[in-house]
Amino acid sequence: MKEDNRIIIFDTTLRDGEQCPGASLNINEKLEIARQLAVLGVDFIEAGFPISSPGDFESVRQVARLVKGPGVCGLARALEKDIDAAYNAVKYSARPRVHVFLATSKIHMKFKLKKAEDEILKLAVSAVKYARSKCPDVEFSPEDASRTEPRFLYKVVEAVINAGAGTVNIPDTVGYAIPSEFSALISGIRDNVPNIDKCVISVHCHNDLGLGVSNSLAAVMSGARQVECTMNGLGERAGNASLEEIVMAIRTRSDTFRGFSTGVNTREIYKTSRLVSKLTGMPVQPNKAIVGANAFAHESGIHQDGVLKERITYEIMRPEDVGFEESKIVLGKHSGRHAFASRLKSLGLELKAEALDQAFDRFKKLADKKKEIFDEDLETIVDEEISKIPEKFKILHFHITSGDQEKPSAAVKLRCGAKSVQSVSTGDGPVDACYKAIDKVTGSVGKLLDYQIRSVTSGKDALGEVSVKVGSKNTVVSGRGASTDIIEASIKAYVNAINKLAYRNKQ
């Protein structure tokens, strides 16, 4: 085998990944993912199984025609009609490859193929020779290699290399192997196949025991130089080895994988992951390594304190290296004072020691009731803890007129210091009319950024809660109001926000 430490990344998201139940893709979706895989920098795209359907044939053909950069591969059984279909689909690529597979384990030969070893050997050689007559680049996979008798596996591998296979892929088809066994299998092939130096050893590991990535990396250490994998680990049953985990393991643990590298642009990993998730409809679990929403999120107070002091205490990769914007400090019941104070500071809310202690106590009490504390919650805690926000403006009275035959209007009276002021305005609806009337009274130059309404209780007399966000220059405040009258709740929320804005500006 050629001693080259450049690891070939063979992406099979569009073939094996699409075989994940519910993950079917149409031609346009396959093209979109293939183009992004090219940007990501994979070496080969296995675009599909052309014989399986006219649609799959056409999607592989379109990927071969339109996607530049990676080689494009089509899968085929050891049948001439499959090989013809695969080659006719991939031949438009600048780097076409036909991937032929045939099962070699006793289990598959007995129960699935019902053939003896000598028949399997002849079929494998014949199929590779036929594929080689069509395409200059042929890969062969002895399916279920990890459960194949080593003696027979060595014989098959030697024969298909002599027949013209430039890559021999060793699949752990059902995810049965453990790393030490799989590493020994690759070493055994290197030691017992005399012509192994004439081809590249590839591996394709499934994740039935959660060992797909571990087996793939063990194989690399034993001499494999191509890894077949998918984005987000998509694939049959429990899926495949995850491309992102393999690539980042090699990069992050360069002390172990000394001299090894891939051609992947890791900053495109997160973007590619989200595209695959969106188009296949297969969500990425939050705690998924590398690309999960929590991969760079910290809630524990000890972890937050460490990361805020020095990132490498709890992060072995930089989030931006895989396409995340930054680490995320999640405030919850496990968070500590350091993270709490740091988030307040980022919001422009710096408190003296005593006020910070009181605010932190209120934060902890709220965190026992909510899974995650948001910035708006912190603003409310701080506003209430520093002091009661002076009610510069207080609602005294309001009256609205609205109907399908007249333009909505509102009269609003507020107390402003020692005097009361009333204003009238029209609007697109009763709430808009009220807000414009309030702006006239208060002289507010704030901009309404968000308006949300929800039912707090049930029934016809349900209590409605309105939440608003109002921005002025570089300051954004939130306001809340509740009432069984939703117009009144809207007015309360808006006046609450304006009072906060006035207080912040004064401070």
End-to-end CA distance of the chain: 72
pLDDT digits (tens, 9 = 90+) for 166-183: 999 999 999 999 999 999
Q: Which of 458, 415, 411 is nearest to 430 (CA)?
A: 411
Buried residues in 351-373 as b, exposed as e (16+ CB within 10 A):
beeeebebbbebbeebbeeeeeb
Q: Of residues 422 and 293, which shows the higher confidence score?
A: 422
- Supply the pLDDT for residue 504: 77
Q: Where in the chain is the domain with CATH 3.30.160.270?
A: 393-506
Which helix H or strand E contains 76, and what residues bound it? Answer: strand 71-77
The closest of 311, 288, 284 to 298, measured between CA atoms, is 311
CATH architecture for residues 297-386: Orthogonal Bundle (1.10)
CATH 1.10.238 range(s) for the chain read 297-386
Strand partners, 424: 411
Q: What would the DSSP string read from start to end of 44-55? A: EEEEE-GGG-HH
| Domain(s) of CATH 3.20.20.70: residues in the chain | 8-280
Which of 1-5, 37-41, 126-130, 396-400 is predicted with the least confidence, judged by mean pLDDT?
1-5
Does 8-280 carry CATH code 3.20.20.70?
Answer: yes
pLDDT at 380: 67
Mean pLDDT of the chain: 91
Does residue 464 register a pLDDT over 80? no
Could you give the dihedral angle defined by the CA atoms of residues 229, 234, 240 and 241, in that order, rounded to the nearest 10 degrees?
60
pLDDT digits (tens, 9 = 90+) for 319-356: 899 998 777 777 878 888 888 888 888 777 777 888 88
Higher pLDDT, 360 or 369: 360
Tokens of 122: 């002849």
Note the maximum CA span of the chain: 102
- For residue 293, what are the contacts with CB-CB under 8 A and spacing of at least 6? 284, 286
Comparing CA positions, the residue from 389, 413, 417 lying closest to residue 477 is: 389
Whether the model pTM is above 0.85: no
Q: pLDDT (tens digit, 9 = 90+) per residue, 230-259?
A: 999 999 999 999 999 999 999 999 999 999
User: What residues contact 78, with CB distance under 8 A and at least 6 apart?
Assistant: 100, 101, 102, 123, 124, 126, 127
Going by the DSSP 8-state scheme, the letter that residue 463 receives in this structure is P
Q: What would be the CATH architecture of the domain defined by 393-506? A: 2-Layer Sandwich (3.30)
Query: Helix, strand, coil shares of the chain as percentages rounded to 5?
Result: 45, 20, 35
Residue the block writes with tokens 């997160």: 270
Q: What are phi and psi of 261, to 5 degrees?
A: -155, 165
SS3 at position 289: coil
Tokens 């965190």 belong to 367
- Identify the pLDDT of residue 384: 57
CA 278 to chain centre: 9
Contact between 91 and 57 (Cβ < 8 Å):
no
* Separation in Å, CA 246 to CA 17, 186, 289, 450: 16, 18, 11, 42
Task: Find, among 319, 263, 313, 369, the residue nearest to 41 by Cα.
Answer: 263
